[in-house]
Amino acid sequence: MSLYVTELRRLGKRRFTRYMTLIGLLVLAAVAVGAFVTNERIGPEQQAAAERQAQTNYEEQVRYAEQERAACERAEAAGEPNDGRFPDDCSVITPPPREAFEARWYLPSTFDFRENFGSTLVTYSAILALIALVVGASFVGAEWSTGGMMNLLLWRPKRLNVLLTKLAALLTGVIGVFLAGVVAWTAAFWAVASFRGSTAKMTGGVWQSFGLTGLRGFALVVVAAVIGFGLASLGRHTAFALGGVIAVAVVGQFGLGIVLALADVKFPEAWLIPTYALAWIDKEVKLENYEACNFSAVSGCEPDTLVLTWQHSAWWLTAGLVLTLGAAVWSMRRRDIA
């Protein structure tokens, strides 16, 4: 039996891999069920109910305005001091216009596949990326910590061949789970939209956009798996990879965010990893600095903006992938197996 097939079977038979995959699928299923429960299809009945609610709120505001104007006039007639509750001229207390109460504000939540499915792909990719990172770290880290790697190298003494074959088996499993999962995810939310929303205006261009978003999510999951695998191989223990990720998340992100905020950095979010991950999936992230004022005669004071695109994120993802995997390969070649 080939080494690749052996590693692929080992990956599938590991209880940790199965449990993590099951947990991830349960979380994703809970998200889909939650979307189904919290949304509903908009029909004539819901439209009529929204119109009634808008009219009710309008009438309440009319009564409230009349009461306030009457109270203002009584206070003015009694010569009571104005403590700031009422304006100097009571006649300015008028109800808002009826058109200010739009029925669409009172409609229940509904799932429009065209408008909402893209954001669910971000959730799907983020959850699978986390699972891929942990499973990738455990797959090789457990081999080092239990001595399995040393025993395997007695049978196959080619170090890099063993390491890269393990990585290939890991990526095969990750790709298989991602592709099967994204098909089920799309089908689930198509059902949500069919029964609890709308599937209208779905064109070829919309599907292409979703496909590109899913492709970027797929790349993020693959990078997460490789980084987890590479870190665990460098430290020769699963805890090294997970500890490094936690350190970066807690110290490098939260701590760095606090320091940047105290230093009054213009765009502190531009130094944080999650910003680039989100820009990668959503194509771009717009950061705003509200402490700056760019005055315009048309729109008044506007903040400074910085747009981070998926191209910016691509450089960071590529750098993380190359550095981590390169360091793991170099370490495998240079260090003793003990």
- 322 has a pLDDT exceeding 80: yes
pTM for this predicted structure: 0.78
Q: What is the mean pLDDT of residues 194-211?
A: 90
d(CA 193, CA 244): 40
pLDDT recorded at residue 174: 93
For the chain, where are the E strands, in sequence order?
111-112, 197-198, 284-296, 300-309
Please spell the DSSP secondary structure of 48-103, one letter per residue. HHHHHHHHHHHHHHHHHHHHHHHHHHHHHHHT----SSS-SSGGG--PPPGGGS-G
More confident residue, 331 or 302: 331
Lowest mean pLDDT among 174-188, 234-248, 257-271: 234-248
Q: Which of 72-86, 261-275, 320-334 has the highest mean pLDDT?
A: 320-334
Question: Could you tell me which residues come within 8 angstroms of residue 219 by beta carbon, excluding any fewer than 6 positions away?
Answer: 280, 317
Confidence of residue 176 (pLDDT cuts 50, 70, 90): very high
Nearest to 221 by CA among 250, 181, 162, 270: 181
Domain extents for the chain?
3-40+110-334, 44-106
What is the distance, to the nearest Å, from the Cα of residue 181 to the centroid of all Cα atoms in its chain?
17
- 150 has a pLDDT exceeding 50: yes
Question: Could you tell me which residues come within 8 angstroms of residue 147 by beta carbon, excluding any fewer than 6 positions away?
Answer: none
pLDDT in tens, 71-91: 888 877 777 766 667 777 787
Structure tokens at 70: 């009457």
